[in-house]
Amino acid sequence: MSVDERTVAWLLQGDPAVRWRTLRDLCNVDGDVVDGERARVGSQGWGARLLAHQQPDGGWQGIYSPKWVSTTYSLLHLMWLGLPPRHPAAVAGMDQLWAWQRRWRAPETCIESMLVRLTATFYYPTPHLDAVLADLLDQQLDDGGWNCVTRSDKGVHGSFHTSIQALEALAAYRLAGGSLPTKQAEARGREFFRRHRLYRSHRTGAVAIAASTRFPAFPEWHFDVLRGLEHLVDVGAPRDERWADAVMLLERKRRRDGHWPRYAPYAGRQWFELEPPGPSRWTTVRALRVLAWWDIAG
């Protein structure tokens, strides 16, 4: 898939979080150039604005709540923007997250998934990661998905929200060099989504979650179609016609000007909104990466 020069130029006028993705995914430039641009996420633009709210102890406002300004979600936002691994601010935030985790008495699959993914993505060193990962593997349901509402009945239907988070966590752990095997669980999890054509009911074919066809800048704990497709890109999944419906939906969301729109964030306090209503550089660069993968995978 070729991207017109005007779109690339428009994207490169955006935030460092958009620029480094554009260079990596659409321009095929040298990795050192991409890394140099990505390093700016911590000192300029959206990333710097998020880091400005970090408290002296390394956290933000609370650990998991209030959403979406807590330490957990602020770290997730920085991860999505591309804050580099081992960044001092990420390490300080992860210190807070793991101190809280060790006091935790009621594990929850969704939160475990976030913790594993953040730890692996930021390369945060901890001897406790494998234990959390093992519990996450143990919570996989008979249908290949995961669900936050149960920790015993494996016959419960998987949740789209929990399942995508668990898959992202397992992939991040594996790609970071984790020692526990995850490939079989990942394959079962992706088969769960194949049976649903990524976002549809396997019984009726209807859209399973109405809000999944809109793409806020930060998906938070929610599943959406773009998030699901991005996971497939991240793991280098081969083309499968059962993904085609989701790819076509993403294409239909494109505006006449060739860009994708900015979607309103989920209800709740945000530190700030990335972009005003209208065309979104952030959504556009993410969507174009997916379409490029689809062409290459085919």
3-state SS, 194-228, equals HHCCCCECCCCCCECCHHHHCCCCCCCCCCCHHHH
- Tell me what pLDDT residue 298 has: 63
pLDDT tens, position by position, 40-95: 999 999 999 999 999 999 999 999 999 999 999 999 999 999 999 999 999 999 99
Tell me the CATH number at 53: 1.50.10.20
* Number of domains into which the chain is organized: 1
pLDDT digits (tens, 9 = 90+) for 226-244: 999 999 999 999 999 999 9
pLDDT tier, 157 (very low <50, low <70, confident <90, very high otherwise)? very high
For residues 77 and 60, the answer to whether their CB atoms sit within 8 Å is no
pLDDT of residue 207 exceeding 80: yes
- Tell me the H-state helices in 39-176: 45-51, 71-81, 88-103, 109-121, 129-138, 160-175
What share of the chain in percent tops pLDDT 70?
98
Question: What's the rounded mean pLDDT across residues 246-274?
Answer: 97
Residue 219 pLDDT grade (very low, low, confident, very high; cuts 50, 70, 90): very high
pLDDT at residue number 242? 97
Query: Sign of torsion, CA 14 120 90 113?
Result: positive
pLDDT given at position 106: 64
Average pLDDT (212-218) is 98
User: What's the domain range around 186?
Assistant: 44-249+265-279
Q: How confident is the model at residue 1 (pLDDT cuts 50, 70, 90)?
A: low
In a domain, 11, yes or no: no
pTM of the predicted model as reported, rounded to 2 decimal places: 0.96
More confident residue, 138 or 28: 138
174 has pLDDT over 80: yes
Q: How confident is the model at residue 187 (pLDDT cuts 50, 70, 90)?
A: very high
Asked if 199 contacts 160 with a C-beta cutoff of 8 angstroms, the reply is yes
Is 4 a member of any domain?
A: no
Q: Is residue 205 part of a domain?
A: yes
39, part of any domain: no
Spatial contact of 68 and 75, defined as CB atoms under 8 Å apart: no
- For residue 109, pLDDT over 80 is answered with yes
Residue 285 lies in a domain: no
Question: Does residue 162 fall inside a structural domain?
Answer: yes
Mean pLDDT of 231-260: 97
Mean per-residue pLDDT over the chain, rounded: 95
